[in-house]
Amino acid sequence: PKAIQLSDYRAPNYQVETTHLRFELFNDYTIVHSKLELVRHQADATSLHLDGQELELISIELDGQPLTAERYVLGEESMEIHGLGERHTLAIVTRIYPAKNTALEGLYRSGGMYCTQCEAEGFRRITYYPDRPDVMSVFTTEIIADAEQFPVLLSNGNPVSETVSDGKRHAVWLDPHKKPAYLFALVAGDLKVKEDRFTTMSGRDVVLKIFVEPQNIDKTDYAIDALQRSMRWDEEVYGREYDLDIFMIVAVDDFNMGAMENKGLNVFNSSCVLANPATATDAAYQRIESIVAHEYFHNWSGNRVTCRDWFQLSLKEGFTVFRDAGFSADMNSATVKRVEDAKIMRTVQFAEDGGPMAHPVQPDAYIEISNFYTVTIYEKGCEVVGMLHKILGAEKFRKGSDLYFARHDGQAVTINEFVSAMQDASGIDLTLFKRWYKQAGTPIVSATTKYDAEAKTLSLTLRQHTPDTPKQTNKLPVWIPVQLGLLDANGNDMAIQVEPAAAWTPESQVLHFKEAEQTFVFSGVTTEPVVSLFRDFSAPVKVQFDQTPTDLLFLLKHDSDGFNRWDAGQRLMLHWIEQAAATSEFSLAPTEREALASLLADTELDAAMVAYLLTLPSEAYISEFSDVVDPLRIHTSREAVCQAIAVDLSAEFKDCYLRLCSSDEYAPIPAQMTARALKNLALSYWARVTDEGLEQAQQQFASADNMTDQMAALIVMVNSGNEAVAAPALTSFYQQWQTDPLVVNQWLSAQAGSSAMGTVEHVKYLLAHPAFDWRNPNKVRSVISIFANQSLVNFHREDGAGYALLADAVIRLNSSNPQIASRLLTPLTKWQRLVPTLSQLMKAELQRIMHQGNLSKDVYEVVSKSLG
Ligand code: HT7
Ligand code: ZN
């Protein structure tokens, strides 16, 4: 397969002014009639390129006449029409087979319903079309289907009409806003609807509807509430108002990703929208809140202003993730949200940046665009927008956002246009900043300080370097906003005066670090301070700054920046884990024990924050610090520290647990969710080292009235490694929930992700279980991805059986669902950094995949890049 290059971008020859679609849904197939009004867009252009995949062409007419064979050329995935003039009407009829569509791109069947997924290039599986985001059209959609089987027929925009005759239902929808084909959607099914309303800031009434399969109608309240809050927030914080009479969400069981922002008709993976207290955990509620917001926010950042081409994907995704992060921070705790986002960056994104699939936020080449829906495009893209926010400040950033939407409404644009709007609105030259979009890799910043007691100055020298990544060497320095503070002996922030003064923004306490090496001199520093660097995770960089355990403990206790309190704790814990690895034993020093105990007793702090402060760095994060990764050693040393903390503080964990047990009725509200997070963390430590704690877990499991507590207790029992406790709980849980697929998925994950239970043999047992289904991406993720990403000691088993299991799954899914196959592969791409024996075994599995015939583009791209 050939790579597509950004440098080859050419504007389209023709625009499609209007697109008229008529779908006739039959049991075995669907007939799609399309009528396009074409207008020449490039002077002198006479040919039109259409994309098409897995289509049966039935007829083609130009301006009402059948198009003769010499006027068009059909390729394997395309159609070229020649001899065209200024304006034409093109009518094409195709036949497609949604029931056979296992790739879940284009129009497919999920259970008894029809739905679509057109981003990025799924529309070409529906009809021949210029399937590229810079072709924007006004769509009218007619759907004709059996009236009884399909009482609900939906598409984008506003409803125009619905009639029934001769047993057929006929619905017409019109979307007045121009959009690219990737935002097209159609849904047909026997669905129930939850309805509500929203009045926009200008007083327009919008109908809100969530469509679900009948058994799920009691799981829609929270999504509606999250949607209303998102709509209000986008008006208040970004000045963005909704623009149709109706906004719809549909829940679908078989879906490759989380959700899709189709204009006026968002389609959601049911796991990202359905919740009630008995079946959904607090984590699920929070995921729903953030994904509902994310998809809704796309209405402006993505739909009204879209991407010119797929190299600009982060234009909509990075900005929209930044917007949903702001929403979640405002709805819950900003510090907790920052910690969660930094954890993902530092484990998953830094690993991507350091591996064979590393790419810039604006990539310059790809083989399969589906492989580029990555943490780099989404989360690093969000961090880059976040740095712009830090550099401009909230007010100028908002002006930049307003200018961007005003300038480009109805257009398909590039990342450059976004940065230009920010630059023009703020008057700040952002030329240097743009390097963040073009350079792959995580910059490494090293910091050294020198205190001069006589001159009362502190010099801070920063050096930056971005390592080479595939096909990118000799990287240039980037503009790094370093938010910082200096703590005096009492732990208070000192006032800051720094030279060069121009490098400092006092309002945001940000130092602008732009060269390979720079020294900044702080004056009036009367006593040697403890330095708090990169507060609020102000830049997505790796920091090398040697601070003693004493300083880290001091920051953990006193830093006014919540994020850096947590970070100091993580760095301290990393010291402990290193110590445990070096000496095979570990115990807490009295001051350390004291610090943890006082955190546990601190009722002023956000309880979720305390839970994070007391959670050890993950095995994935620890491995980021080793040049050669030995998963077993990492697991054993982390476990030793975890055990020591549990033993030393078991009484405190018990007290904390009992203090937080509450008889209030469950509600997914921040005050309760944070308390449950800490309570269940305390239970996990307590149950690890005492029979009393484990019995408490059994009791919580049996009496819980909500899934958060039931699942937390189940996981404690599973992780105890005590078969006599875990097995009966797993059986009774399955009996209780076997008819609810989303809960069963949690049951599968609890086992597959456990170091104690997620052995290769047990995962094979789960794959053969009646609850498992290879065609359903949620099931595949719940077992295989969770196993390979969480049960690391078992995945990295010394005989390579974990790798073989994953490779077998990839081979199996390669032809039925290439997107899922390719996403599963990620853990196998990390072979180069493993200890030699494991490295060879993993590489051999990649080679085995490579030698299969008929690899999809998706799998081929990842495997070939991984093998180098
Ligand atoms: N913009 C959406 C991306 C998406 C997607 C991409 C490829 C294959 C399937 C997909 N489903 C959804 C989701 C989002 O970022 O909001
Ligand atoms: Zn998105």
Low-confidence ranges of the chain (pLDDT < 50): none
Which residue of 182, 257, 291 sits with most ligand 1 atoms within 8 Å of its CB, as the best mutation to test the pocket? 257
Q: Which of 737, 642, 724, 638 is nearest to 686 (CA)?
A: 642
Q: Of 119, 125, 371, 823, which is best to mutate to test ligand 1, by the most ligand atoms within 8 angstroms of its C-beta?
A: 119
Helix H or strand E encompassing 159? strand 158-165
CB 256 near ligand 1, within 6 Å: yes
Q: How far is the C-alpha of 734 from the C-alpha of 91, rounded, in Å?
A: 53
Q: Which atom of ligand 1 is nearest to the CA of 256?
A: 9
* Tokens 């609890």 sit on residue: 750
pLDDT, position 703: 98
Q: What is the pLDDT of residue 150?
A: 98
Say which amino acid occupies 230: S
592-650 pLDDT tens trace: 999 999 999 999 999 999 999 999 999 999 999 999 999 999 999 999 999 999 999 99
542 CA to centre of ligand 2 in angstroms: 26
What's residue 584's pLDDT? 84
Residue having the nearest C-alpha atom to atom 14 of ligand 1: 260
pTM over 0.90: yes
d(CA 841, CA 798): 9
Residue 797 has a CB neighbour count (10 Å cut-off) of: 19
- Looking up tokens 């791409």 gives 829
Å from CA of 295 to ligand 2 middle = 6
Decide whether any atom of ligand 1 lies within 6 Å of the 295 Cβ. yes
DSSP class of residue 614 equals T
Residue 334: partners with Cβ closer than 8 Å, 6 or more residues away:
none
Q: How far is the CA of 558 from the centre of ligand 2 (A)?
A: 37
Helix (H, G, I), strand (E, B) or coil at 365: strand
Check if the beta carbon of residue 128 is closer than 8 Å to that of residue 90: no
Q: How far apart are CA 70 and CA 454, in angstroms?
A: 88
Q: What share of the chain is helix, strand, coil (3-state, %, to 5)?
A: 45, 20, 30
How far does the centroid of ligand 2 lie from the alpha carbon of residue 314, in Å? 9
Is 668:285 a contact under the CB 8 Å cutoff?
yes
Q: What are phi and psi of 357, to 5 degrees?
A: -95, 10
Question: Distance between CA atoms of 863 and 225, rounded to whole angstroms?
Answer: 43
Q: Is 866 helix (H, G, I), strand (E, B) or coil?
A: helix
The dihedral over CA atoms of 280, 282, 284, 287, expressed in degrees to the nearest 10, equals: 150
Domains of the chain, start order:
4-190 (2.60.40.1730), 738-868 (1.25.50.10)
Nearest-angstrom CA–CA distance, 568 and 832 = 30
Of the ligands numbered here, which is closest to the C-alpha atom of 372? 1
Q: Cite the active site residues.
A: 295
**22, 33 contact by CB (below 8 A):** yes
Q: Where are the beta strands (DSSP E) in 315-453?
A: 365-366, 412-413, 444-452
Query: How many beta carbons lie within 10 A of that of residue 331, not counting itself?
Result: 19
**Residue 589: both structure tokens together:** 């020093």
Contact indicator for 657, 696 with CB cutoff of 8 Å = yes
- Secondary structure class of 33 (helix, strand, coil): strand
Rounded distance from Cα 181 to ligand 2 centre (Å): 16
Cβ–ligand 1 distance for 324 under 6 Å, the answer no
Atom from ligand 1 closest to the CA of residue 294: 16
Longest dimension (CA), the chain: 95
Q: Are 836 and 120 in contact (CB under 8 A)?
A: no
Q: Whose CA is nearest to atom 15 of ligand 1?
A: 317
The CA-based dihedral angle spanning residues 227, 384, 540, 674, taken in that order and rounded to the nearest 10 degrees: -20
315 lines ligand 1 (CB under 6 A): no
Q: Which residues pair with 504 in a beta bridge?
A: 511
| Residue 803 Rama label (left phi>0; alpha psi -120 to 50; beta) | alpha
Mutational test site, ligand 1, from 125, 254, 373, max ligand atoms within 8 Å of CB: 373
| Cis status, amide bond into 477, omega within 30 of 0 | no
The rounded distance, in Å, linking the Cα atoms of 662 and 602 is 18
Alpha-carbon gap, residue 285 to 274, rounded angstroms: 9
CA distances from 58 to 32, 61, 67, 122, 525 (A): 10, 11, 12, 20, 80
Contacts with 148 (C-beta within 8 Å, 6 or more apart), sequence order: 167
Instruction: Identify the CA nearest to 93 among candidates 60, 66, 126.
Output: 60
Residue from 752, 759, 748, 851 nearest 799 by CA: 759
Q: Give yes or no for residue 858 CB within 6 A of ligand 1.
A: no
| Test site for ligand 1: of 260, 268, 291, 371, most ligand atoms within 8 A of the Cβ | 260
Residue 705 alpha carbon to ligand 2 centre in Å: 34
Q: Is 260 in the pocket of ligand 1 (CB under 6 A)?
A: yes
Q: How many residues does the chain have?
A: 868
* Identity of the residue numbered 618: S
Q: Is the CB of 119 under 6 A from ligand 1?
A: yes
- Where would I find the beta strands (DSSP E) of 517-606? 517-522, 530-532, 542-544
Under DSSP, is residue 261 helix (H, G, I), strand (E, B) or coil?
coil
pLDDT, residue 585, reads 87
Residue 302 CA: nearest ligand 1 atom is 1
686 token code pair:
């307590």
Give the Cα-Cα-Cα angle 285, 252, 196 (nearest 5 degrees): 60
Residue having the nearest C-alpha atom to atom 12 of ligand 1: 260
User: What is the Å distance from ligand 2's center to 349 Cα?
Assistant: 17
Q: Say how many Å lie between the CA of residue 119 and the centre of ligand 1.
A: 6
Contact yes or no for 377/314 (Cβ under 8 A) = yes
Distance CA 596, CA 610 (A): 9
Q: Does the Cβ of 368 fall within 6 Å of ligand 1?
A: no
- What is the number of the ligand 1 atom nearest to the C-alpha of 257? 11
Whether residue 107 contacts residue 188, with contact meaning beta carbons closer than 8 Å, is answered with no
CA distances from 780 to 152, 427, 725, 745, 775 (A): 29, 49, 27, 9, 8
Does ligand 1 come within 6 angstroms of the Cβ of 370? yes
Side chain identity at residue 475, one-letter code: K
